[in-house]
A and B are shown apart, each in its own frame.
Chain A
Amino acid sequence: MLILNNIPALLVAIPLLASAVVSVLPSARIAWGVAFVTTLCCLYMAFELTEIVSASLTLSYAFGGWEPPWGIAFVVDGANVHLVLLVAFISVIATVYALTTLKHEIAVEDLPKAYAVWLLTIASLFGLSMTGDAFNLFVFLEISALSSITLIALGAGQDRRALLAAYNYLIIGAIGATFYVIGVGYLYAATGTLNLLDIIERLNEIGTNQAAVTGLAFMLAGIMVKAGVFPVHIWLPAAYSFAPSAVSSLLSAIATKVAIYYLARLLFGIFIDTTHLIDLFLLFVLMPVSVIAIFYGTIAAIYQIDIKRLFALSSIAQIGYITFAFSINTHSGISAGFIHLINHALIKGALFMAVGIFAIGIGQRATMNSLRGVGRQMPITFTGFVIAGLALIGVPLTAGFISKLYLFKAIFETGNGIYVAVIAVSSALSVLYLWKIFEVMWLQEPLQPLKIEKEPVLACVSLWLLVFTIIIFGIYSAGVSSYGMNAANALIGVR
């Protein structure tokens, strides 16, 4: 019972404590073992959490017995309970994947410390997805930024440009986080509280207030930097392309998603929109920006030779789909956004994993030139890669199709045909860059024998776990779509 009652706190505390333990362990294998067991514990607790929340709808956890709004509260409701599960699930799989791949990319003596930072990142992502306190969120935001910068910089062993990518992320990320803090200051000045639920109540009492509006604008700007929304995404492609491949798949799968979830919470959950400011923001800022992001990301990916950078750019387009769904500003739009949030996390995680396995196989960076014929040499990985790629396009029987289906449904409800064209054309364009890779990898002759004897078993297992999940979610979509509905219900009320 002690564990069940304290799950929200333990989800953050256990990886945090484990990271301190892991950092002093002498052997990389033991360090990995501790990290793996920790993430497994987190996955178990996240499952328990879904059961508790499905019974009681909203779980509010007060730290140290200090009741909110005085103390810090963790709030788990329909909007984030499956996000917590996603973070736990991806972190287990990415940890399994890290065992075979990280040792190729990082010096062996650095590995225990790398796993320590890895656990720190996971702890902060759990915190980000559950906290109900605006300032506490800033602290987790910075923990996640600093630890993921360290992980990205670890890619310097392979390519020194990783350092520049990490430095850029540090500067841009710190400006974003500071903008967020300014916003929290304004909201605090207007309402005198930091608890998100309490802020809603106070804002209801005082009505629309210029300080509160300014604060919200600053907070949105800060969170958009972290989420990689189009005009402030510039840190993202370099960071994901030079990071070690396990890190790329962990961060691209869940780090930006957590920020996007919070963006949705700020847009729909906080502000009672009496002057339609949020509606105007969604229509005239977020929607055009998302459309540009979709086309920019997809077209830039078509011309890209480096595969990891290509998928980082396609991430910007996919984040564009999610924010586009939010900007439709209807119940079904928000649920479509949350459905794609989950599905894209699985798809992009799998794609980065596959690219990492290819890179180990050929012993150098994966590019359009170096990957010639690798699909024939590594058929198991290649099959998983193709399925995940098809899911990215949105082919039926994969999770990506479900995303597109709900997105189309949300668009048809608005009755505006132009948006249908946006999604259809951009999906067709994404076929271009994926086909280019498939062709190079399968139809051309292999350049040279592989550097490894056979495909790394554990890495393939973790890739295929994600691929199976993608297929299962493509066929039995009820779970994901009900999560989307629940999230929309929790944010803007039952419709």
Chain B
Amino acid sequence: MSSLYSVLLNWNYIVVIMLMMAGLYIIISNQNFIKKLVGLSIFQSSVFIFYISLGKVSGGTAPILTGVSDTVYSNPLPHVLILTAIVVGVATNALGLALVVRIHEAFDSIEEKKLLALKIEDGHQENEQKDNKL
């Protein structure tokens, strides 16, 4: 019982795991390229929350010097790291969305099944062209 209790007490990590699995599931199961990027975003956010919970010290305050000698501070380093990771995540999403725009222009679709079919068709066409030239 006590182990279950301690798991429930750390409910923030349960949230992290749920978000992580939800994100990964969306990436794997969804056909739509934009929805895949949304899944990626959720997946990355779960890691942000993981880091932010790591840095929290219970009873700790913001890491700004208070002048009182026995103040407990939260650890600011994971929070700063996640600031960097958020920027990286934004860049990844921006590039991904830009690619989706280009894919839509080139293939007129952003559904994975249709794109796969088009891709295979491209390959066949290429081979046929060469056979004709022979």
Contact = CB atoms under 8 A, between A and B. Distances in A.
Interface in B1-52: 24, 27, 33, 36-37, 40, 43-44, 47, 50-51
A185 B50 contact: yes
Contacts of B84: 135, 139
What secondary structure prevails in chain A residues at the interface with B? helix
Contacts of B78: 185, 188
A135 B81 contact: yes
Contacts of B54: 185, 188-189
Given A175-B43, A305-B127, A156 B102 contact: yes
Interface string B48-72: 0011001000000000000000000
Q: Which of A138, A156, A178, A370 has the most CB of B within 10 A?
A: A178
B130 A174 contact: no
Interface stretch (A142-150, A245-253, A275-283, A342-350): A142-150
B106 A156 contact: yes
A167 B50 contact: no
B92 A174 contact: yes
Contacts of A340: none
A316 interface: no
Interface in A179-233: 181-182, 185, 188-189
Contacts of A146: 91-92, 95
Interface string A370-409: 1000000000000000000000000000000000000000
Nearest to B131: A369
A447 B133 contact: yes
Interface stretch (A8-16, A80-88, A158-166, A457-465): A158-166
A138 B77 CA distance: 15
The bracket for how many chain B residues form the interface is 35 or more
Contacts of A189: 54
Interface residues of A, number: 33
A164 B85 contact: no
Given A153-B102, A305-B127, A170 B95 contact: yes
B130 to A, nearest CB: 4
A39 B127 CA distance: 39
A367 interface: yes
Interface string B83-101: 0110010011001100110
A188 B37 CA distance: 28
Given A167-B99, A447-B133, A174 B40 contact: yes
Nearest to B96: A170
Given A163-B99, A164-B103, A182 B47 contact: yes
A427 B46 CA distance: 45
Given A171-B40, A175-B24, A166 B99 contact: yes
Interface string A320-333: 00000000000000
Given A185-B78, A189-B54, A170 B133 contact: no
Contacts of B119: 161, 164
Nearest to B94: A146
Contacts of A159: 122
Contacts of B77: 188
Contacts of B33: 167
A72 to B, nearest CB: 11
Nearest to A369: B130
B115 to A, nearest CB: 6
Contact of A150 (B85, B95, B115): B95
Nearest to B24: A175
A87 to B, nearest CB: 22
A431 B107 CA distance: 38
Contacts of B107: 160, 163
A375 to B, nearest CB: 18
A171 B96 contact: yes
Interface string B101-134: 0110011000000010001001000110011011
A160 B107 CA distance: 8
A153 B92 contact: no
Contacts of A174: 40, 44, 92, 96
Contacts of B115: 164
Given A178-B44, A370-B130, A161 B102 contact: no
A175 B81 contact: no
Given A138-B85, A142-B91, A174-B40, A167 B103 contact: yes
Contact of A142 (B81, B92, B130): B92
A265 interface: no
A113 interface: no
B106 A160 contact: yes
Contacts of B47: 178, 181-182, 185
B106 A163 contact: yes
Interface of A: 135, 138-139, 142, 146, 149-150, 153, 156, 159-161, 163-164, 166-167, 170-171, 174-175, 177-178, 181-182, 185, 188-189, 305, 365, 367, 369-370, 447
7 contacts: A138-B85, A146-B95, A161-B119, A178-B44, A182-B50, A185-B78, A188-B78
Given A149-B95, A369-B134, 7 more contacts: A163-B99, A163-B107, A185-B47, A185-B51, A189-B54, A305-B127, A367-B127
